[in-house]
Amino acid sequence: MGSIWSDTTCLEPRPALSGDLEAEAVVIGGGMAGILTAYYLKERGIESVVLEAARIGSGQTQNTTAKITAQHGLVYDKLLRTAGEEKARQYAAANQRAVEEYRRLVREKGIDCDWTDCPAYLYSSKAAEPMRMEAEAARRLGLSAAFTAETELPFQVKGAVRLDGQARFHPLHFLKAIARDLTIYEKTRVETVEGGEVRTARGTVRAKHIVFACHFPFVNAPGYYFLRMHQERSYVLALEGAQKLSGMYLGTDADGLSFRRSGELLLLGGGNHRTGENTAGGKYELLRQSAQRFWPESRESAHWSAQDCMPLDGIPYIGRFSGSTPDWYVATGFGKWGMTSSMAAALRISELVTGGEAADSAVFSPKRFDLPASAKNLLEDGRQAVRGLARSLLTPPRAELEALAPGRGGVVEWDGEKAGVYRDEAGELFVVSVRCPHLGCQLEWNPDEKTWDCPCHGSRFDYRGQLLDGPAQEHLPARREA
């Protein structure tokens, strides 16, 4: 099932690349970050070419909850403690600037995208003190934040942080307007990048500047972003007949939920987990149980899921791709705040490409490494990679082929080797390699989405083996034609 954004938007198809060409800049990826970057480059006199593997907006942009806010979880108190006030202030200013820039574009261009100004709330049902500390930190950094115990939510909270001056919108309606005058090639997957050459199966584009805005960079070296991030999935229900909340809400507890209104619908989100760690399933069902508990008369009109890149220290990587590639740029690691971070990235990268140096260079620099802030995720990411490789090399199949019921998948023995097998409702088998083509980790079955997910770096494939999310660049080899 598609998101409410994709179901209510008709984007004009763009042609595929057909032959070689030259451009001043190439932007790899046609999501919000890539389209905004191309837009601001054009505003600064740089003509760019956008290369999109599928359709523009068809990745995480169509699966977002579309909150535009500088409130990114419990971030500011942590930043003050681990990065210092200067970098914390840079982060706050860059993200509030992003909110204001969206607002300016919508108003000046008259973009019809359901723009609604509203406050954003963080809340906890278990502890008030972290909320007080976060509110004080955000206020200290110049944001209009305040602690409160009063919310519109259908349950009591211990405390919340209210941040005024934020917004929500329809992301694909906005994207459609911004992309109108850009040069875009769809269904053109980039295969390799070397120097100033971006190669695809449909032709090569040569350019001075290359921007990686493709969610998760597929180039392993330089940069080594696969060692500096992991990916997480989350789930959303669109509910009819539920409460019409005026604010946007995010829970900070382990089982916290997200709430956000869209017209007559309420978007209820949650069920976060590391990609590749949902073998039991049931994430949508947990959200449905919450919906029935809070609003028994509500009805589900849509459901979908999203994938987010989680950087080691919680701060996006925005800037020059690596020290050895001064004309490559990257925008990745947005956590769960892709809309605001996309704008912050586009503004920063367009300044760098045209010879400027953004004021927030230090806090977002891809060259940074802060061990105290990164240690926890670094260790966990390393453990996950080792486990994934060990499963691939050492563990036996977990399921018996005969035991796979219709609609189920699992790792089974097939012709003497491990394989991923899905049995559809009609009993037909779909058999694929269970080894991720990125770096060889063993894939895990996700029953909620009928996908094969990599627990090491987050690549995903449908049950036929078709690539859904990178950093992998190839489909899974089929062991048997369905």
DSSP assignment of 121-135: EEEESS-SHHHHHHH
- For 93, phi then psi, to 5°, come to -65, -40
Three-state DSSP class for residue 251: strand
Q: What is the pLDDT of residues 427-474, one digit of tens each?
A: 999 999 999 999 999 999 999 999 999 999 999 999 999 999 999 999
Within 8 A by CB and 6+ apart from 67, the residues are 120, 166, 168, 248, 260, 337, 339, 340
Q: Is the pLDDT of residue 382 over 70?
A: no
446: nearest Cα among 436, 437, 455, 456: 455
User: What pLDDT, on the 0 to 100 scale, is given for residue 416?
Assistant: 75
Q: What is the pLDDT of residues 199-219, one digit of tens each?
A: 999 999 999 999 999 999 999
**DSSP codes, 339-373:** HHHHHHHHHHHHHHHTT---TTHHHH-TT---HHH
Query: How many Cα neighbours within 13 Å face the side chain of 470?
Result: 23
Q: How confident is the model at residue 346 (pLDDT cuts 50, 70, 90)?
A: very high
Q: What is the pLDDT of residues 127-178, one digit of tens each?
A: 999 999 999 999 999 999 999 999 999 999 999 999 999 999 999 999 999 9
Mean pLDDT, residues 18-22 taken together: 97
- Residue with tokens 């604010």, as numbered in its chain: 247
Domain boundaries, the chain: 4-64+172-227+314-376, 394-480
- Amino acid identity at 49: V
Q: What is the pLDDT of residues 81-121, one digit of tens each?
A: 999 999 999 999 999 999 999 999 999 999 999 999 999 99
Q: How far apart are CA 235 and CA 293, in angstroms?
A: 18
User: What pLDDT, on the 0 to 100 scale, is given for residue 128?
Assistant: 98
**DSSP codes, 435-476:** B-TTT-PBPEEETTTTEEE-TTT--EEETT--EEESS--SPP
| Element housing 199 (H / E) | strand 197-200
Instruction: Let me know: does 205 contact 21? Beta carbons within 8 Å.
Output: yes
User: What pLDDT, on the 0 to 100 scale, is given for residue 357?
Assistant: 74
Pairing mode, if any, of strands 229-240 and 299-311?
antiparallel
Instruction: Let me know: does 183 contact 16? Beta carbons within 8 Å.
Output: no
Q: What is the pLDDT of residues 273-314, one digit of tens each?
A: 999 999 889 999 999 999 999 999 999 999 999 999 999 999
Mean pLDDT, residues 37-66 taken together: 97
Q: How confident is the model at residue 481 (pLDDT cuts 50, 70, 90)?
A: very low
Q: Could you count the other beta carbons within 10 Å of the beta carbon of residue 296?
A: 8
| Element housing 166 (H / E) | strand 159-168
Q: How far apart are CA 82 and CA 337, in angstroms?
A: 20
366: nearest Cα among 320, 308, 310: 320
Q: Rounded to the nearest 5 degrees, what angle is found at the Cα of 62, between the Cα atoms of 57 and 65? A: 140
- Residue with tokens 């500390």, as numbered in its chain: 133
Q: Provide CATH code, domain 394-480.
A: 2.102.10.10
Instruction: Let me know: does 450 contact 462? Beta carbons within 8 Å.
Output: yes
Beta bridge partners of 303: 237
| Element housing 234 (H / E) | strand 229-240
364: nearest Cα among 390, 393, 337: 337
- Residue with tokens 């992301």, as numbered in its chain: 171
4-64+172-227+314-376 fold: FAD/NAD(P)-binding domain (3.50.50)
Mean pLDDT, residues 321-348 taken together: 96
- Residue with tokens 């045209």, as numbered in its chain: 354
Q: Could you count the other beta carbons within 10 Å of the beta carbon of residue 478?
A: 15
Alpha helices of 44-192 — where are they, by DSSP H? 76-82, 85-109, 129-140, 171-179
Q: How far apart are CA 121 and CA 101, in angstroms?
A: 21
With 0-12 / 13-18 / 19 or more C-beta atoms within 10 angstroms meaning exposed / middle / buried, residue 365 is middle
User: What pLDDT, on the 0 to 100 scale, is given for residue 417?
Assistant: 80
User: What pLDDT, on the 0 to 100 scale, is given for residue 381?
Assistant: 59
Mean pLDDT of the chain: 92
User: What pLDDT, on the 0 to 100 scale, is given for residue 388?
Assistant: 52
